[in-house]
Amino acid sequence: MSSRKSVADILPSVSERTPLAPDAMETQLSRNTPTGPDFSHLASHCAHITPIPSQSYIERQDALARTLRSLNASAYVAEPGASAAYFANISSSHWHLSERPLLLVVQPITDEHGETRANVSVLTPYFEQTRAKLLPIPSDAGVTYTAWPEDHNPYERALSLLPELEGATIYVDGNVRTFVTDGLQKAAPKALVSSAPVEVRRLRERKSTEEIDILKCANEATVLAIRAARDHIKIGMRESEAGQLVTSALTAAGLKGGFALTLFGENAALPHGSGTNRVLGKHDFVLVDCGGSLHGYESDVTRTFALPDSVIPLRYQALWGIVHAAQQTALEVAANGTITSAVDRAARKIIKEAGYGEFFTHRLGHGIGLEGHESPYLVGGSDDVILTGHTFSDEPGIYIEGKVGVRLEDCFYIDDYGVAQYLTAGVGAPATGPWTP
């Protein structure tokens, strides 16, 4: 007969167990609940940065009105999202999209001083108008709310705001859903409903000083979060564990919606990951692509780095140096008046001449602001012109499947002198070596 005791023999019966006092129970729970590293020191970095003030929204609306008038357009229409957030503080978090359209309509009008100003209206479902009127829309002259009952055509109701439809040009934001654009055109067959042109898009693409300040702090905080998390990443840790450290640090830094694509070794050769959960080996690079938002403005930073006790093959360290050189070359080429594709081409040339051109498989970069990816893009085939106030990611990479992946990413802006400056420069970025992210 076996001498092993069952669990029932070892544990006391329910009637024999002594219940824990509430304070003892709390102590035991605290001992049993795992706690992560303390990243609270990161909170102070962006504590002084304030949201965009109401007056700036009004100035944006009036700039839009002047642009519409210069283009002989009657109105601009946007749904809740990045553009509506830019002009009227109506983000998709304020109002989630559904099959029932809520539309921001901006028209140019002439005030009593002969100046072109913005007339701001909101089309809302009838049963949602009370909630719609709670939207935090800054306006000098007030906002007109037009409600449409369920048994009425919402697009006809929206267009009733315009004094004249025949021959009118109505611009819709590029992110407006197709069924909304089609509905507007059908309701106004004698008008032209068209995607907003570059003159309108540039109003949001070119960032103001206050926007640059927010973007700087968001991206700086992201670099600090990566560095803080790196101190707690260990050989033998899984990608998911390291990713959780990074997102915890981003949250502690005050960034919302933090994300962290965390890839080890050969998994980093797939730029968006493999879907596995690799254990970090001693010879593996760590690639972290992460970011979050500050007052609605996004950050995006990638570091490929080694730990203090990593032993990275020299050939992989050489790849790191090539990518770093390509990143720096792109920054030097980007300037006011440069074509976006030229910047992509300059970075790609560095990697190609080093013998790894076929392994740089994606565009160099994207615009960044209220969206993590927005126009214009640093990509081959583009003829967009870089201007002061534009902001981009600069993220070259080398990806050799089954072996290694290296990507470095910092975002930059074009300053008032037409020169590219890293948004992360305030914390000593970009990275200077595989062991110094």
| Mean pLDDT of each 10-residue bin along the chain, 437 residues long | 38 37 40 72 98 98 98 98 98 95 97 95 97 95 94 96 94 98 97 98 98 98 98 98 98 98 98 93 98 98 98 98 98 98 98 98 98 98 97 98 98 98 97 98
d(CA 383, CA 377): 10
Asked, for residue 33, whether it belongs to a domain, the answer is: no
Residue 275 is predicted with a pLDDT of 87
Question: What pLDDT does 431 receive?
Answer: 98
The whole-number pLDDT of residue 210 equals: 98
pLDDT value, residue 5: 39
| pLDDT score recorded for residue 6 | 37
Query: End of a domain among 204, 222, 247?
Result: 204
Q: Are residues 178 and 295 in the same domain?
A: no
Q: What is the pLDDT of residue 35?
A: 73
Same-domain status, 99 and 229:
no
In a domain, residue 44? The reply is no
Q: What is the pLDDT of residue 34?
A: 53
Is 18 a member of any domain?
no
Q: Say if residue 167 is in the same domain as residue 104.
A: yes
273-310 burial, b at 16+ Cβ within 10 Å, e below that, comes to: beeeebebeeebbbbbbbbbbbbbbbbbbbbbbbbeeb
Shared-domain flag, residues 303 and 347? yes
The CATH number of the domain holding residue 329 is 3.90.230.10
Write the CA distances from 306 to 357, 401, 406, integer angstroms.
24, 19, 11
CB 413 within 8 A of CB 420: yes
Answer whether residue 36 is part of any domain.
no
Q: Is residue 37 part of a domain?
A: no
> Do residues 317 and 300 share a domain?
yes
Q: What is the number of domains present in the chain? A: 2
Check: CB of residue 71 under 8 Å from CB of residue 197: yes
Task: Show the domain range for 326.
Answer: 206-427
The last residue of a domain, from among 164, 189, 204: 204
Domain identity same for 178 and 307: no
292, 313: one domain: yes
In a shared domain, residues 281 and 391: yes
Strand 116-125, strand 103-110: pairing: antiparallel
**Same domain? 213 vs 324:** yes
Domain membership flag for residue 17: no
In whole angstroms, what is the distance from residue 230 CA to residue 226 CA?
6
* 271 found inside a domain: yes
Q: Tell me: do 69 and 196 sit in the same domain.
A: yes
Task: Return the half-sphere exposure (C-beta side, CA atoms, 13 A cut-off) of residue 304.
Answer: 31
User: Are residues 247 and 172 part of one domain?
Assistant: no
Q: Residue 303: enclosing H or E segment and its boundaries?
A: strand 301-305
Task: Report the candidate in 103, 116, 111, 102 with the shortest Cα–Cα distance to residue 59.
Answer: 116
Burial code (b: 16+ CB inside 10 Å, e: under 16) for 216-238 equals bbbbbbbbbbbbbbbebbeeebe
- Strand ranges in 65-137 using DSSP code E only, listed in sequence order: 75-78, 103-110, 116-125
Same domain, 408 and 261: yes
Among 160, 177, 204, give the residue marking a domain's end: 204
- CATH number of the domain enclosing 179: 3.40.350.10
Decide if 7 is inside a domain.
no
Burial of 326 per CB tally in 10 Å (0-12, 13-18, 19+): buried
